[in-house]
């Protein structure tokens, strides 16, 4: 994280144990290429569990750069039982 133009540093933690190694203070979130992101108030509210292939949608991670012309955020409801706050690109 950047605060006042400088990176935030803290002691690294490995397996729940604090080390004497300084590292950037960041949060890492691992998601696969098809994981769908939910958005609320212009912030990421949640990731998954809906996946693009389950919803019958293309994986945005595999979009070709020539397809990315004038991109915009689109909200979709992947399945009838899902909320309509998933960010995506319609199939």
Domain count, the chain: 1
How many CA atoms, within 13 angstroms, populate the side-chain half-sphere of residue 82?
19
- Contact indicator for 84, 77 with CB cutoff of 8 Å: yes
Q: Which domain holds residue 81?
A: 35-88
Residue 73 maps to a domain? yes
Residue 65 maps to a domain? yes
Residue 78 maps to a domain? yes
Residue 28 maps to a domain? no
- pLDDT (tens digit per residue) in 61-87: 777 888 888 878 888 888 889 999 998
pLDDT at 84: 92
Residue 47 maps to a domain? yes
Residue 61 maps to a domain? yes
Residue 66 maps to a domain? yes
- pLDDT (tens digit per residue) in 31-66: 666 788 899 998 888 887 788 888 888 777 777 888
């Amino acid at each position: 994280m950047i605060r006042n133009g400088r990176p935030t540093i803290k002691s690294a933690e490995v397996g729940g144990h604090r080390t004497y190694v300084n590292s950037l203070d960041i949060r890492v979130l691992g998601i696969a290429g098809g994981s769908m992101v939910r958005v609320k108030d212009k912030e990421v509210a949640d990731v998954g569990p809906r996946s693009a292939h389950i919803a019958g949608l293309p994986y945005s991670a595999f979009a070709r750069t020539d397809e990315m012309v004038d991109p915009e955020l689109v909200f979709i409801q992947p399945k009838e039982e899902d909320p309509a706050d998933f960010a995506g690109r319609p199939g």
